[in-house]
Amino acid sequence: MYVGNPPRELMIFTGTAVFDWKSKAKLDRNEVVVNLGATSTEAFQSTSTCSLASFSNTDSEMIFAVDASWVVRRADDAGLELHANIAVQGNDSVLNRISYHVQVLTDPVIAKISGTIRWNKSLGDPTEAAKGGANMFRVAAGNLVSVPASGGGFGSTKWVEAASTFTTAAPVQSGDFWAVAYVLENVPLSQQFNVVPALLDGVLTSVIVPYATFMPAPRYVELTPNDPTATGVDFEMIAGQGVR
Amino acid sequence: MSLPSGWLPFTADGASFPDQVTDFEIVSVPARSTRTAANLYVQVAGVAHFDWDPIWDDGDGHNIYRGDLAVTMPQQVLQQGDALVEWTAMAGMRRLDRDEEGSTDDFAIALDEVSSVHTAGGDVRLTMKAAYQGDAWLLRVSFLLDLLIYRPSLDRVAPPDSHGRLRDWAEVASVRLKYVDG
């Protein structure tokens, strides 16, 4: 869930860890690791508590303990783990379960795709409004999705967007090129999307004939919890060829 | 084996007997679920008392008896119209009792899992699966509930329907929950 403003993600994990740790008469210690099945950014805070949940003893002096618990973020895949130190003594004593409650407060993953769109000035200069930061391009992340045929007709495809934005920065001229930056935010993670720019009407001093297109295309990007931002996803606008 | 039927149910009935649930605390904060329409987070904590002295040993001390422990809360947790959308719960041992009596001093005690959290009106009932062997018993159980609730009054807007009519909150809630349920 998201709490606070600006929102942070609060994840709660509860459960019962099941294992079999038997004392050999001495106070025998071990460490229980629970894979919590979630990931986090490096900047996270956590609390955890563990309690005894199931044990047995055969007519002997005994100790059962959960001495400490803490949360670890794995370096290789950002996965979260609960660690707990347990101890058992008896002849014999067996600890079978502990219950746990973990709270992790983590920064939201602001998924971003960013880059620049450039074009040769032979295609046209930005209008004065565009030079002042007016929207010039719309950028979207989405996919073409097949739509099954219905009623005996042909199937088709439909563009389904996951995120979109408009450029708001003032374009910069460098040599024969103009360039403007874009930032596409809140792109869903762990899904591959095609990033597609589009030129808005009336933002250049001339009309691109026959139409504007962008290279490279398609431009697929997939963000993940470990790598939630993609920079340098750049495009060059060119004049298309033939009939659109 | 099941717990002796004469001793069922084992309920710390805080709703009827407030001293059977102590250290009871509730905190609630507005929140937004990442998965559902829930817009309120409520955390409930307390200690359930199971102050019985049943005939645990039952003549042999070797059988493992299993049954449910239940807790009802001493205060209303939810408001009228609240919908419990998601929950997690933890229960742990707070106080144990073991007597060196009977045919054997072997013993075992277990809180195997939290099996359910139910709501009825504003009341909340927690149920756990427990087990014991020999003359041992759980006198106190600590519990912690995390509840995600959809409370319509916490919505900032209620969009009009396709005819421009404002819908009542219950209808909005039912639509949301329908989508949540898929």
Which runs of E-coded beta strand occur in B58-135?
64-72, 83-98, 107-120, 123-133
Tell me the C-alpha distance between A41 and A24, whole Å: 41
- Enumerate the residues of chain A whose CB falls inside 8 A of the CB of residue B41: 1, 3, 10
pLDDT of residue B181: 44
pLDDT band at B13 (very low <50, low <70, confident <90, very high): very high
Closest Cα in chain B to A98: B92
User: How does residue B35 score in pLDDT terms, banded at 50, 70 and 90?
Assistant: low
Contacts of A1 in chain B (CB under 8 A): 31-34, 38, 41, 148
Best of A2, A11, A16, A93 to mutate (most B CBs within 10 Å, chain B): A16
Structure tokens at B39: 């817009």
Which candidate in A36, A39, A51 is best for mutational testing of the B interface (most B CBs within 10 A)? Answer: A51
Interface test with A, best of B44, B85, B90 (most A CBs within 10 A): B90
Q: Which stretches does DSSP call E strand in chain A?
A: 2-3, 8-22, 28-39, 44-57, 63-73, 79-89, 93-106, 112-120, 137-147, 156-166, 172-174, 177-185, 192-199, 212-215, 220-222, 229-230, 235-239
Query: What is the ipTM, given to two decimal places?
Result: 0.77
Q: Which amino acid is residue B75, in one-letter code? A: Q
HSE (side-chain half, CA atoms, 13 Å) at A97: 21
Cβ within 8 Å, pair A55-B105: no
pLDDT 10s digits, A161-180: 999 999 987 888 776 788 88
Contacting B with CB below 8 Å, chain A residues are 1-3, 7, 9-10, 12-16, 49-59, 96-97, 99-101
Least Cα separation, residue B124 to chain A (angstroms): 18
B41–A3 C-beta distance less than 8 A: yes
Q: Which of A1, A55, A101 sits opposite B144 (nearest CB)?
A: A101
Question: Are A182 and A167 a contacting pair, CB within 8 Å?
Answer: yes
- CA distance to partner chain B, nearest, from residue A192 (Å): 21
Residues of chain A with pLDDT under 50: none
Residue-level length of chain A: 244
> What value, to the nearest 5°, has the Cα angle with vertex B48 and ends B45 and B53?
170
Given a cut of 80, whether residue B8 has pLDDT beyond it is no
Note whether B84 and B180 are within 8 A (CB).
no
Quickly tell me which residue has 């054997």 as its tokens.
B104
Nearest chain A residue to B111 by CA: give it.
Answer: A53
Asked if B25 and B48 touch (Cβ cutoff 8 Å), the reply is no
Span B79-98, average pLDDT: 89
Distances (CA, A) of B150 to A14, B39, B169: 21, 5, 11
The fraction of chain A above a pLDDT of 90, given in percent, is 51
Residues B128, B88: Cα–Cα separation, whole Å:
13
- Residue holding tokens 């929102």? A7
Q: Edge to edge, what strands does the sheet with A63-73 contain?
A: A28-39, A79-89, A63-73
Would the CB atoms of B92 and A97 count as touching at under 8 Å? Answer: no
Average pLDDT in the B9-17 region? Answer: 88
Between residues B57 and B121, the one the model is more confident about: B121
Q: Which among B31, B88, B144 has the least Cβ separation from residue A2?
A: B31
pLDDT at position B171: 47
Peptide bond into A7 cis (omega under 30): no
**pLDDT beyond 60 at B175:** no
- Token pair, residue A215, equals 């290279």
The stretch B112-123 carries a mean pLDDT of 90
Q: What is the pLDDT of residue A5?
A: 57
Find the residue in A nearest to B37 (Cα).
Answer: A1
Please name the residue of chain A whose CA is at the shortest distance from the CA of residue B88. Answer: A14
Tell me which residue has tokens 């004469």: B6
pLDDT of residue B7: 53
> Chain B contacts of A52, Cβ < 8 Å?
92-93
Closest CA–CA distance from residue A60 to any residue of chain B (Å): 8
